[in-house]
Structure 1
């Protein structure tokens, strides 16, 4: 059981979600007291979600997307749908915390320790590392106390949401019917009416292309463009110019030896008899019987663990749990394991999981990591610290130079040993492919009227944390409308295809009506057998239509427009049950159904909580910039 918890991938996902948490919790106080004013974006009973909290969540979501995707246009989140999604998430969190508090649900210290101990991001060579843990949190601007508080809240919310999701049951007949529908095979035939077949029937008016050009001039406008030179000052470039001496590394190591103390670790195997499976008395009796057998024949421990242990993660390995340090196991287990000598077998040890028999199989004594093993780590850390200090000093000087000497970037480049780079033609719109020049603020400065006229340096713009860019225009092309003669041919082609598409749809719908009246004289294509699990033989846009066709009376007919390609008619001629799924796939699909059902139950529960706590969203405040 311990091994299963420590290796559970879902735990890793919890950590990743928390490390880049898009919608941060705002402290316990925000759940239990009223703050804000008429600008509050939502109320949950007496609790407020303030405009400040909403904007903070919005910024954090932008940062999360930027970390995942690189440069992101903030306008992606500046839509009613995106803003509504963020406020709904904030409201749902508060609702769940309120309800969890009422139900006295609380994640224990033991659960926190087990969860953190099982996160691979905190491990070195498969073992939990306090140094790695603290370094990973520092990289995200978090402290262990802050992370553990967030983790406790998250686990508490999961307890409640999980309890709700697992409380629902899907009827066996419903599940079987859904699986049958997934494997059901439909034999369909197609009759395509391709757009190209109608092109010769299209007759454009003589002035159609010119009229379209005049009414849609923006479509034929070449946007303003510029070629740019720029310099990038970052903490990385500063760090690359720094050197750390052997003496500095040795001095730092001597002054921080406590960081390199590797605590004692122990390796154990165990046999677990779970209380919940047999009941406490029977479980204890079974554990005592197993212990008697082991006392008679200690070599049988591994075989008995494989046959009798209720810990699925370790039973197959003869009960082996690997090496672990203090704080990674539940307290009774840890105390017993650390009291044993190597190869010694414990008595019966009771924990929340049941009854354990523990065999100590190895000990890594506490030791100090030698300088040679940590030299590279120290060098990186010293360089990073020095680069951080130097960058803070350089940033101000860099900003001053590009401002005070606005006609060239060379002085700044020479002072900080940077390269003046040149771009290809770029536009005003942010484009991640343009690297540092994809930043919206920098582009706004470059394409400003003053920049275009004077071709002076922009201010130093922070495009990312610890990264400044200054740029200037080298060459500029204003926006210009393409001549009609240059685009006339493409406009005519566009209009003809649009008209041909309409003719194909019109003809297809007329033929469909005839088919439904029993007038079937079409030369259908070869039959295709498709199912909801495998519909690759028909166009994706037609899948939903094909599986909605009424199979009560065959043949059945349907038609689907294929945008930009024409129209397709379908004939459903036969229906048959699909092959039985193998057990593995059937179980996987049943799990998916269960997850969907659980999600629906949670949404229904949240909707009920919204009614109970009288949730109100201030639409006007939400839309305020």
Structure 2
């Protein structure tokens, strides 16, 4: 076959086709590569770029924070392409705002000193162990996040400069003690009231509803009677954990694995060292000369820790006499690493060592020799690992066979269940808005509501829920979305209209009582005829949860009046209340601590509003170009 293809490719028609393809690349494909801008910019702010990589880092960081905080609920949101685009754009907007604030901070000359940066790093909990700064952790985290120490200092300087402007704006607005007192007096004020509640049900007897009204309501609220598409899903799952009981691990296998993988249980030699760093700066020769002079004084008997504290440019370790704690082979730069492990005895001092950071003098302060855990110490762990490996291998084999039979026998899950040795389960009917937890995975939801599974009635492919769990599903029953007929919902509409008319009747009756009270009449007898009586409430505050919410809300909208302050309000239950304000009780005397706290919170609110307005003004005046693809 390959020979025939080769021969055919030499014919005139084939050559013509190949020539046309080549031309198409010349004028289209290759041209597009040559003319492509290779755009790596997400946005440009006043001539400064925000790179796509910067946006991606910020996006991933924000997404990770949300997923760790909200779990699977937000993961489903991220499967929505529209939401994903909106979320990414909001992250870009935040980066643009930060860039604008940074530019303004630099424009007005805000600066951060080296000492401020050092103190900030030392006090960052991320770099601390047991509450104290740890240089190893600091360097390790920087490497993990792609930073060199100098790069991180520059990054931190930018962040702190931006924060300077933010704090400056924050302290430029404040709340006066009088404002705090006024807010407190309003928040802590209580009120006395009397009220009654008219039960709408007692007015329902006269609430007649005609067929025309029912039809009119149905027509006006037709979308409210739309049903959601529903499915009943049958499914089979397979888990690595389920297979662990089906595999065995022998002692010989454990011993063999231990012999072949002893390096995993070997702890490298650790050496504790201290160092003195002289940064290269603009004059490498002078820096090296200084390092050699310091080495000479140490060799002549000077205390290494004292020399480090007074001279080392690594200010973090210098505070501890140059101590870097324990290191293992390969942890530090090659030249530094080689020098450390060339030292023979505790107390030995190296020659001057050159690295990318500058010139080092290193002393060995302690040695922890190499160690190896015994087979007995690690046998249980090895057994678990081998059992997991065997179960995983079986898992992939069964998964492959499940995929084959799900495709070959598409109209049921019997064969799939037999291979997995798991039961076929069903969810019962559910809508997309109420997915049962057992099938609530983005890919599963996408498949079970797909036309292929619904219309063709076939099994899904094997769906990977995670590395250790898979599922095969099929739609057993499907109820399409539809609009319920009038006959189906007539009873509900009738009840709703009756309730509405009953509330309207109760409201009209309560308004009559309100008018009677306004004229100076008593209504006690009228209330008694309805089996209603006044209720009193004293010292009601705004957060009261014992009274109906609308009663409390209405009570605090009433203004004191010599003629009586009253109002009729509709309750969420469908009943009606008449509320009368009887007294306004002043807030108790506030202590200075509480008042200061209110003043601080009020000032913070003012400051945030000011900051938001300031950033908005910067955006309005800025030259911002956003990549159309973002």
TM-score of Structure 1 vs Structure 2, range by shorter chain:
0.5 to 0.7
Work out whether 1:193 is the aligned partner of 2:198: yes
Classify 1:263/1:331 alpha carbon distance in 2 versus 1 (closer, same or farther; 3 Å).
Answer: closer
Q: Which one of 561, 581, 605 corresponds to residue 614 of structure 2?
A: 605
CA contact (8 A) 1:508 1:567 kept: yes
User: In 1, Cα distance between the equivalents of 2:262 and 2:593?
Assistant: 54
Q: Which residue of 2 aligns with 1:595?
A: 604
Equivalent residues of 1:134, 1:144 under 8 A apart: no
Matches for 1:506-521 after TM superposition, within 5 Å: 506=508, 508=510, 519=520, 521=522
Matched residues, number: 490
Distance 1:518 1:207, change over 3 A: closer
SS of 1:471's partner is strand
Give 3-state SS (helix, strand or coil) of 1:568's partner: strand
Q: Which residue of 1 aligns with 2:97?
A: 92
> Equivalent of 1:529, from 518, 536, 539?
539
Confirm or deny: 8 A CA contact 2:121 2:127 kept in the other structure.
no
**Equivalent residue number for residue 574 of structure 2:** 565
Residues 45, 622 of structure 2: 8 Å contact kept? yes
Kindly indicate whether the alpha-carbon contact (under 8 Å) linking 1:235 and 1:387 is maintained by their aligned counterparts in 2.
no
Distance 2:610 2:408 in 1: 64
Name the counterpart of 1:425. Answer: 428
Verify the 8 A CA contact 1:231 1:413 in the aligned structure 2: yes
Q: Partners of 1:94 and 1:394 in 2: how far apart?
A: 52
Are the aligned partners of 1:195 and 1:564 in contact in 2 as well (CA < 8 Å)?
A: no
Q: Which 5+ residue runs of structure 1 have no aligned equivalent?
A: 1-32, 266-327, 340-362
Rounded Cα–Cα distance in structure 2 between residues aligned with 1:577 and 1:453: 69
1:474 counterpart SS class: strand
Number of the residue aligned with 2:166: 161
Partners of 1:228 and 1:473 within 8 A in 2 = yes
Residue 175 of structure 1 and its aligned partner are, at CA, apart by 1.7
Q: Which residue of 1 aligns with 2:320?
A: 334
Give the TM-score normalised by the residue count of structure 2. 0.59
Greater mean alpha carbon deviation, residues 363-372 or residues 171-180? 363-372
Distance 1:593 1:482, change over 3 A: same
Q: Provide the secondary structure at the position in 1 that maps to 2:234.
A: strand
Alpha-carbon distance between aligned partners in 1 of 2:185 and 2:540, rounded to the nearest angstrom = 14
> Do structure 1's residue 401 and structure 2's residue 418 form an aligned pair?
no
| 1:30-60 Cα distance to aligned partner (Å, 9 max, x none) | xxx99689xx7x7643457799998997887
Question: Hey, what's the Cα distance between the residues in 2 that align with 1:579 and 1:380?
Answer: 69
1:176 equivalent among 159, 181, 192: 181
In structure 1, distance between residues paired with 2:138 and 2:398: 31
Superposition deviation, residue 201 in structure 1: 3.2
Distance 2:217 2:580 in 1: 39
What is the aligned counterpart of 2:124 among 108, 115, 118? 115
Offset, 1:529: 1.3
Deviation of 1:592 after TM superposition, in Å, equals 3.3
CA contact under 8 A between 1:185 and 1:575: conserved in structure 2?
A: yes
* 1:225–1:425 Cα contact (<8 Å) kept: no
SS in 2 for 1:334: coil
Question: The residue matched to 1:145 in structure 2 has which SS?
Answer: coil
Cα distance in 1 for partners of 2:147, 2:54 equals 18
Paired with 1:176 and 1:370, the residues of 2 have a C-alpha distance of: 69
Structure 1: distance between partners of 2:139 and 2:389? 20
Deviations 1:456-499 (A, max 9, x none): 21133455677543311234445566665554332211111123
Contact 1:110–1:330 (Cα < 8 Å) also in 2: no
The alpha-carbon deviation at position 575 of structure 1 amounts to 2.0
1:493 corresponds in structure 2 to: 495
TM-score with structure 1 setting the length: 0.59
In 2, are the aligned partners of 1:430 and 1:440 still within 8 Å (CA)? no
Which whole-Å CA distance do the structure 2 matches of 1:156 and 1:236 have between them? Answer: 52
For each residue in 1:416-453, what CA deviation from the matched residue of structure 2 results, as whole angstroms up to 9, or x when unmatched?
x5635412213341535x12422354334223343234
Task: After superposing the two structures, state which structure 1 stretch, 96-105 or 180-189, moved more.
Answer: 96-105
Shift of 1:526: 1.0
Question: Whose Rg is larger?
Answer: 2
Q: Is contact 2:190–2:585 with CA below 8 Å preserved after alignment?
A: yes
Report the secondary structure of 2:210's partner residue.
coil
CA RMSD of superposed structures (Å): 5.6
Aligned residue in 1 for 2:527: none
SS of the equivalent of 2:198 reads strand
> Does the 8 Å contact 1:230/1:409 carry over to 2?
yes
Q: Is the contact between residue 391 and residue 466 of structure 1 (CA under 8 Å) also seen in structure 2? A: no
C-alpha deviations, 1:341-373, integer Å up to 9, x for none?
xxxxxxxxxxxxxxxxxxxxxx99979898489
Decide whether aligned partners of structure 1 residues 527 and 219 sit closer, same or farther in structure 2, where only a CA change above 3 A counts. Answer: closer
Question: Residues 218 and 170 (structure 1 numbering): CA distance in 2 closer, same or farther, change over 3 Å?
Answer: closer
Q: Deviations over 1:479-527 (max 9, x none)?
A: 5666655543322111111233344445556665776x56464554213
C-alpha contact (below 8 Å) 2:238/2:422 kept by paired residues: no
Superposition pairs of residues 325-364 of structure 1, within 5 angstroms: 331=317, 333-335=319-321
Q: 1: CA distance between counterparts of 2:268 and 2:418?
A: 40
Sort the Cα spacing of 1:261 and 1:609 in 2 relative to 1 into closer, same or farther, 3 A: farther
- Aligned-partner Cα distance in 1 for 2:566–2:612: 37
SS at match of 2:320: helix
Distance 1:86 1:470 in 2: 36
Whether the aligned pair in 2 keeps the contact of 1:191 and 1:522 (CA below 8 Å) is no
Secondary structure, aligned partner of 1:423: strand
Which residues of structure 2 form unaligned runs of 5+? 1-36, 275-313, 326-364, 525-533
Where 1:570 maps in the other structure, the secondary structure is strand
Report deviation, 1:574.
Answer: 1.8
- C-alpha displacement of 1:381: 11
> Is residue 2:446 matched to residue 1:438?
no
Instruction: State the Cα distance separating 1:184 from its structure 2 match.
Output: 1.9
Give the secondary structure class of the aligned counterpart of 1:569. strand
